[in-house]
Amino acid sequence: MTISKSPIFEEGRILTSTVGSYPVPEWLMAYPSEQALIDATRVVFNTQREAGVDLPTDGELYRFDPDHPETNGMIEYFVTRMDGCRSRVGRADSAAFRRKSEMGFRVKPAAVVDGPVGEGILNLPEDCQRASAVAGGPFKFTLTSPYMLARTLLDNHYRNFESLTLGIADVLASQAADLDCACVQVDEANIPGNPADAPLAMEAINRILDRVSVTTAVHFCFGNYGGQTIQAGSWKPLLEFLNGLRVDHLVLELAHRPDDDLEALKDIRPEIGLGLGVVDIKVNHVETPDEIAARLEKAAGVLGAERIRCIHPDCGFWMLKRSVADRKIASLARGRDLFAGRNHS
C-alpha cells in the first residue's frame, strides 16, 4: 500500500482520528469572540491529544452560527461567504426550493445563486492557520464537498446543476493548495443516497484533491440530522465512484451500518487506505475499549489489517453532549491500543 504524503502515517500502524465537528462549548456560545474561539479550539485539540488521538481536528468551531445550529455551519459557512450567493432568502425563494424536492429535510435553501460563484470573503487558509497556531502537532482540516453544497442552493443563475457544482469546486480548489496542515478532508453526506450523481460528484471532489499538497481524505456518511440517518443506500453501489477518487484514504461510516457494507469495501483499490468508523455518533451509549477493539478485529478479519489506515467516529460529534463525546474519544484510542496489543503479543 502506498504511504501517504504525511509523516504521521506509518506502514503497519493504525491511527486514531476524528471526523470534524465537536460540541460547541456553552461558554463559547454565551460569549462569542475571536479570542474565545481560539481558546475553545485549543481546548478541543488538547482534549483529543490527551485522549490519545493521533490526528485530531479543530472541532470546526469557527463555522458555528447560532442562526443555523442544525447544520453546524458545514453548509451556510461556505455558501454565504461566496460571491454570487445571496443569503437573504425570501418567501418565493423558499417555495421554489421546496418544489425541487431533493432536500426534503430543508424548508428553505442555504442561499440563492444570482450570479457566478466566486470565493468572495471565504478564506479557508486563514481558518486553517488559526487552528494551526493552537493545534500542538499534526492535525486534519475539513471542508464540505461541492456536490453537497450545490444541492442545498436555489440556482437562479446557472440553471444547470453540473455547472453550479463545478463552479463551487473550482472556488474550493483555488484555496485548497494553501491549507497548511497534515491532512485535508472533503466531507460528503449526500452522494451515498444519490449514486446516479456519482460521476459529477467525483469530478468535483477530484478537482479539490488534485490541488492539495498534503495527505488527502474524503469522508462519506449517510447523513446525521437530529441524530438520524438522512440518506438511504449502501456502499456497494458506490464502489466505482470511490475507486475513481484520487485520494489517499477514505473516512467511512460503518459503526451504524449493516455488516455487508464492510464486505463491499474489499473491492476498494489497494492504493486507497481505509478509514473505518468504529464509534456510533447517533447514540449516547459510550463504547468500551473492548467494543472498539472488537469492531476493529472484525474489520481486519474481512479486509486485512494492512488495509486499515485509521479508525474514527462515524461522523462529527456536534450533536452530542461534550461529556459523551469526550468519553467516546477516549475509548477510541484505548480500543485501538487494545487491538494493537492483542495483535503484537
Question: Which range marks the domain in which residue 265 is found?
Answer: 18-68+117-149+160-343
What is the structure's pLDDT at 86?
Answer: 95
Enter the C-alpha cell of residue 96: 421554489
Domain assignment present for residue 100? The answer is no
Enter the C-alpha cell of residue 86: 445571496
Domain assignment present for residue 203? The answer is yes
Enter the C-alpha cell of residue 238: 458506490
Domain assignment present for residue 108? The answer is no
DSSP single-letter state for residue 311: E
What's the pLDDT band for 72 if we cut at 50, 70, 90? low
Contact yes or no for 338/14 (Cβ under 8 A): no
329 φ/ψ angles, rounded to the nearest 5 degrees: -60, -45
- In Å, the largest CA–CA distance within the chain is 65
| Nearest by Cα to 235 from 204, 205, 267, 203 | 267
The mean pLDDT value for 325-344 works out to: 91
Q: How far apart are CA 236 and CA 229, in angstroms?
A: 18
Q: How far apart are CA 225 and CA 216, in angstroms?
A: 26
Contact yes or no for 314/221 (Cβ under 8 A): yes
Instruction: List pLDDT tens digits, range 322-331.
Output: 999 999 999 9
Question: What's this model's pTM, rounded to 2 decimal places?
Answer: 0.92
Instruction: List pLDDT tens digits, range 210-252.
Output: 999 999 999 988 655 555 545 555 678 889 999 999 999 999 9
CA atoms within 13 A on the CB side of 92: 2
Domain assignment present for residue 112? The answer is no
How many domains does one find in the chain?
1
pLDDT at 103 over 60: no
List the strands of the sheet with 111-118, edge to edge: 83-86, 111-118, 153-155
What is the structure's pLDDT at 70?
Answer: 56
Whole-number average pLDDT of the chain? 89
What is the structure's pLDDT at 66?
Answer: 67
Contact yes or no for 224/230 (Cβ under 8 A): yes
Enter the C-alpha cell of residue 7: 509523516
Which residue bears the cell 484510542? Answer: 333
**51 vs 45, 46, 319, CA distance in Å?**
10, 8, 20
What's the pLDDT band for 67 if we cut at 50, 70, 90? low
The one-letter amino acid code at 66 reads: P
What's the pLDDT band for 195 if we cut at 50, 70, 90? confident
Domain assignment present for residue 99? The answer is no
Instruction: List pLDDT tens digits, range 262-295.
Output: 888 999 999 999 999 999 998 999 999 999 999 9
Domain assignment present for residue 109? The answer is no
Q: How far apart are CA 287 and CA 47, in angstroms?
A: 18
Domain assignment present for residue 155? The answer is no
Q: How far apart are CA 195 and CA 213, in angstroms?
A: 28
CATH code of the domain covering residue 227: 3.20.20.210
**324 vs 49, 153, 285, 321, CA distance in Å?**
17, 33, 8, 5
Q: How far apart are CA 132 and CA 140, in angstroms?
A: 10
Q: How far apart are CA 261 and CA 213, in angstroms?
A: 31
pLDDT at 298 over 50: yes
Domain assignment present for residue 84? The answer is no
Residue length, the chain? 345
Q: How far apart are CA 308 and CA 59, in angstroms?
A: 24
**Of 71-80, 130-139, 314-323, 336-345, where does mean pLDDT reach its minimum?**
336-345
| Nearest by Cα to 70 from 188, 286, 225 | 225
The mean pLDDT value for 35-58 works out to: 96
Q: How far apart are CA 110 and CA 114, in angstroms?
A: 13
